[in-house]
Structure formats: structure tokens, C-alpha cells
């Protein structure tokens, strides 16, 4: 709600993917300048330093700038780089929290991340660069949420089993969560790779843990 | 935004603490019936089964019921119990994701939960019953977020150090995040208990990890 109020006052909107464009279309004034800075997996894209510079440049020119990100700025959004750039330039700013797909995608598929008996903790990470992760630590948490894991599902499944998760551990993959085009698969570490074979999975969220086997809503 | 649309259509609102009451006041029609089902730490409170029954009872009577929770239903909200009760009763429902304090409180204190160099994963848990947690696993994740930890901060600090986190590990405690009454403390596992001695900490979020030492906004 606060974010839509700010968007309605924007003179410049700097936005990226994951739903941000739709919000700009719906709420930003027609006269506001639109700057798209989305990064796309596998294609050359704008560098973070350039995005920081664009925001600072418009703000120091005295314009009301709204930097709109899909999801919540707290999660894999590089928001701190932008905050630091604004601070260094002496620009006043406000950061609004958002609805993170890490939490919203499981709900859209019909289950929460915590449960009194099945999940007392969850961990969120990015599977963009699976080799850099501490799989021993991640495998030990009740529920694991992996963002940007569309192309590394097989590797995720292998690493978790190597670090002690049973082949029977429930897994859900949710693609384009909460959109009319949403698709979701439920299976186990042992079954999910063959279940999703041949499917385009990006953008998706992978959830591993017993909550992923909670009864699917019948709607 | 979707949640406010639904609230405006409500005939019955079943709500609890953590900001829900303020939203009901602002958005629910004056004629809508209000049912408070908040649970309060340390005091006798309504049982989850009774809340489930209240929701089902109003819904099966044909009323448009909005069950409003503070934060996101995905995180420590018992939402699955309510969904299961509605399914069992054959009631159609929609679940809206929300802004979780687990992500919003760090942002309100000036830092995100992930950072390209400092934090590639974060875990969220409740410190309500610290003895039940797998501290070995939690201590191994870059960033740890603890909800309901106001009265167990000393125990949290002790367990994390016992399981390998250094006394120099940064810690932030954020009380009443994003409210005008917000208070935040930044320190380390070695210092935070004495820094917050004598303070009322509940309701608070505890964040442990290097992101908690990112420069504080100068605003």
C-alpha cells in the first residue's frame, strides 16, 4: 500500500522484472519517466554500478525517484549497493519492504513454510551458483527455499541427497507463482527431476521439506 | 493491495495482533463484524482449534469472512490449520501473501538479509522455545533471523557461540520494527546482552550475521 502511494507520486521510476513492470503500468503517473534496468538470466545485462548511478543521478537532479523491485528488497536484490550510493551522495530515501516470492510461492502452491510439527525453521538461498553454497548447512534446516533454481534442479537434488536428505523428502517446484500461468509440481528428491523433465522451469521457486507434502487445496 | 480490497468487502473480520487491528480499523467496513483472536505471550489465550472453528462457522453461514494476520501467513501463522479446516468444511478460500516482519525488520533497521559477499543464505526460526531448535544447523547459515526472541536473547547468544559462531559475529535487535516506536540495537554476540540489559525487547526480531554490521543509514 505504501509502495503504491509512492509510485503515484513518482517523477522517475527505475524498475526491473518479476512483476515490477505491471505495477508501474498500473500506478505510476503517465508523465513519469520510465527507466527499465532489468537483468535477464543468460543475456548481457546492466551492471549494478550503472543502476546505482542512474538512481543517484535522477535523485540529485531533484526528482522524486521510485526504484521498484519485484519481491522484497531484503532478498537477493542488491538493495544495499543502492542505499550506500544514495547515502554517499547525501540523498534522502525510504525503503519499503515487499512481498517476497520466497514466502508467497509456497502459499500460492497451497502450503506455508513453517508448521508446528513439520517445520520449525526455513532457509532461503539462491541456486544461481550452486557450487558456492554450504550444502551441509542447508541440508540440515527443516525447510529449504531455493530461488533462481530453474536450471540447477538436478544439481540441487544431488547435493541435498549427498548431504543426508532422504530420497523421500518432499519437494515442490512452483513456476510463475500467483500468475494465471502458474504451474506447480509436487514430488520428492527422488522423483522431481523426472517429473519436470522437458518443462521450462524458470522463473521458479524450489521448496524442499515436509511442508511441501501438506495436502493441496482442492480448489 | 489485494488484502485491502478483500478487507473492504468483508462481512466478518477475524484478526489478531501485530498490526492487524490497525488495518481492520482503516479498511474494513464499519458494519463488518469484528472478532479478535489474538494470542498474547505469557497470558491465557484462545486455542488454534477455536479460531479454526470460528472461521468455518461464519463462512459456512454464507458470510464473506476475512481472516487477517499480521505479517505473512507463510511464517509461524498456523495458516495450514485454518486452510485444512476450511477444506474439510468445503469452503472456498483465497490466501494472500503478506509482508513478513522477518524480512521487513532488518530493512527497517537499514540492511537486507542477503548480500553478494556477506550473506548467500538466511534462515528464519522462532526463538519461542529455544530448547527445541537444531542450533548446530542454524549456526552454520550465514544469516539467522529469530522471531519471538525477546525473552531468550541470552540463551540464543549462548547457543550460537557454543555451536561455533564467534563472539565478534554482528547482531541486531529490532523492536517494534517500522512503527514510530521502533528501537534498534546493533552489537555482537559478545556485546548485545549487556547492550540491551534492562530494556523491554518484545516484540522484537533478532538478526545474527555479517549483514547486521552494514553501515546504518544516516537519516
Give the CATH number, domain containing residue B17.
3.40.1010.10
**A175: closest CA of chain B, how far (Å):** 16
Q: Do B169 and B193 have their domain in common?
A: yes
* The pLDDT of residue B169: 98
Q: Do A128 and A162 have their domain in common?
A: yes
* The pLDDT of residue A153: 96
Is the distance from CB of A58 to CB of A12 less than 8 angstroms?
A: yes
Chain B residue closest in CA terms to A144: B123
Closest CB to A97: pick one of B92, B103, B141: B103
Closest CB to A72: pick one of B92, B103, B116: B103
The CA distances from residue A89 to A13, A49, A53, A147, B46, in Å, are: 19, 14, 10, 32, 51
**A135: closest CA of chain B, how far (Å):** 10
Region for residue A198 given its phi and psi (left: phi exceeds 0; alpha: psi -120 to 50; beta: otherwise): left
Which residues does chain B have within 8 Å of residue A78's beta carbon, measured at their own beta carbons?
Answer: 116
- Is A117 touching B (CB cutoff 8 A)? no
Which residue is it, cell 503500468? Answer: A25
Instruction: Tell me whether residues B114 and A74 touch, CB distance under 8 A.
Output: yes
Q: Do A128 and A36 have their domain in common?
A: no
Instruction: Tell me whether residues B123 and A113 touch, CB distance under 8 A.
Output: no
The C-alpha cell that represents B110 in the structure block: 537499514
Q: Do B139 and B118 have their domain in common?
A: yes
Is the distance from CB of B16 to CB of B36 less than 8 angstroms?
A: yes
Q: Do A109 and A164 have their domain in common?
A: yes
**Which of 84-113 (B) contact A at CB < 8 A?**
84, 87, 92-93, 95, 97-100, 103-104, 106-108, 110-113
Q: Do B70 and B115 have their domain in common?
A: no
Q: Do A20 and A118 have their domain in common?
A: no
- Is B215 touching A (CB cutoff 8 A)? yes
Q: Do A108 and A192 have their domain in common?
A: yes
* The pLDDT of residue B219: 39
Range of the domain at A79: 2-88
Tell me which of A88, A119, A151 is where a domain ends: A88
* The pLDDT of residue B146: 98
Q: Do B59 and B157 have their domain in common?
A: no
- Is A137 touching B (CB cutoff 8 A)? yes
Which residues does chain B have within 8 Å of residue A112's beta carbon, measured at their own beta carbons?
Answer: 73-75, 77, 79-80
**Which residues of chain A register pLDDT less than 50?**
218-219
Q: Do A59 and A26 have their domain in common?
A: yes
* The pLDDT of residue B17: 75
Q: Do B84 and B122 have their domain in common?
A: no
Q: Do B204 and B114 have their domain in common?
A: yes
- Is B135 touching A (CB cutoff 8 A)? no
Instruction: Tell me whether residues B72 and A111 touch, CB distance under 8 A.
Output: no
**Which of 19-78 (B) contact A at CB < 8 A?**
72-78
* The pLDDT of residue B42: 61
* The pLDDT of residue A20: 86
3-state secondary structure chain B: CHHHHHHHCCCEEEECCCCHHHHHHHHCCCCCEEEECCCCCCCCCCCHHHHHHHHHHHHHCCCCEEEECCCCCCCCCCHHHHHHHHHHCCCCCCCCCCCCHHHHHHHHHCCCCCECCCECEEEEEECCCHHHCCHHHHHCCCEEEEECCCCCHHHHHHHHHHCCCCCCCEEEEEECCCCCCCEEEEEECCCHHHHCCCCCCCCEEEEECHHHHCCCCCC
Query: How many beta carbons lie within 10 A of that of residue A6, not counting itself?
Result: 18
**Looking at the domain assignment, is residue B219 inside a domain?**
no
**Looking at the domain assignment, is residue A95 inside a domain?**
no
**Looking at the domain assignment, is residue B19 inside a domain?**
yes
Which residue is it, cell 521510476? Answer: A13
Which residues does chain A have within 8 Å of residue B215's beta carbon, measured at their own beta carbons?
Answer: 84, 87
**Looking at the domain assignment, is residue B116 inside a domain?**
yes
* The pLDDT of residue B178: 86
Instruction: Tell me whether residues A122 and B121 touch, CB distance under 8 A.
Output: no
* The pLDDT of residue B218: 45
**Looking at the domain assignment, is residue B96 inside a domain?**
no
Number of domains composing chain A: 2
CA dist A71 and A3 (Å) reads 12
**Looking at the domain assignment, is residue A93 inside a domain?**
no
- Is A140 touching B (CB cutoff 8 A)? yes
CATH number at residue A178: 3.30.950.10
Instruction: Tell me whether residues A116 and B78 touch, CB distance under 8 A.
Output: yes
**Looking at the domain assignment, is residue B55 inside a domain?**
yes
In order, the DSSP letters of chain A are: -HHHHHHHT-SEEEE-TTTHHHHHHHHS-TTSEEEE----TTS----HHHHHHHHHHHHHTT--EEEE-SS-TTSSS-HHHHHHHHHHTT----------HHHHHHHHHT--S-BTTTBSEEEEEE-SSGGGS-HHHHHTSSEEEEES-TT-HHHHHHHHHHTT--TT-EEEEEESTTSTT-EEEEEETTTHHHHTTT----SEEEEESGGGGSPPP--
**Looking at the domain assignment, is residue A68 inside a domain?**
yes
Closest CB to A100: pick one of B73, B79, B103: B103
- Is A212 touching B (CB cutoff 8 A)? no
Tell me which of A27, A57, A88 is where a domain ends: A88
Is the distance from CB of B119 to CB of B113 less than 8 angstroms?
A: yes
**Which residues of chain B register pLDDT less than 50?**
218-219
Tell me which of B88, B118, B150 is where a domain ends: B88
Closest CB to A218: pick one of B87, B103, B214: B87
Amino acid at each position: 500500500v505504501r509502495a503504491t502511494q509512492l509510485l503515484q507520486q513518482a517523477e522517475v521510476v527505475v524498475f526491473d522484472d518479476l512483476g515490477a513492470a505491471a505495477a508501474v503500468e498500473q500506478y505510476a503517473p503517465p508523465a513519469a519517466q520510465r527507466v527499465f534496468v532489468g537483468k535477464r538470466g543468460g543475456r548481457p545485462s546492466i551492471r549494478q554500478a550503472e543502476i546505482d548511478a542512474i538512481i543517484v543521478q535522477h535523485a540529485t537532479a531533484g526528482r522524486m525517484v521510485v526504484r521498484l523491485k519485484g519481491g522484497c528488497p531484503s532478498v537477493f536484490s542488491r538493495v544495499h549497493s543502492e542505499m550506500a550510493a544514495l547515502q554517499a551522495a547525501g540523498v534522502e530515501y525510504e525503503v519499503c519492504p515487499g512481498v517476497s516470492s520466497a514466502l508467497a510461492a509456497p502459499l500460492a502452491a497451497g502450503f506455508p513454510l513453517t508448521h508446528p510439527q513439520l517445520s520449525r525453521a526455513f532457509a532461503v538461498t539462491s541456486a544461481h551458483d550452486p557450487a558456492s553454497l554450504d550444502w551441509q548447512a542447508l541440508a540440515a534446516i527443516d525447510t529449504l527455499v531455493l530461488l533462481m533454481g530453474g536450471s540447477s534442479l538436478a544439481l540441487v537434488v544431488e547435493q541435498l541427497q549427498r548431504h543426508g536428505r532422504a530420497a523421500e523428502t518432499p519437494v515442490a517446484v512452483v513456476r510463475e507463482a500467483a500468475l494465471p500461468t502458474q504451474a506447480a509440481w509436487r514430488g520428492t528428491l527422488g522423483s522431481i527431476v523426472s517429473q519436470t523433465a522437458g518443462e521450462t522451469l524458470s522463473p521458479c521457486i524450489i521448496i524442499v521439506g515436509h511442508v511441501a507434502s501438506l495436502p493441496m487445496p482442492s480448489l
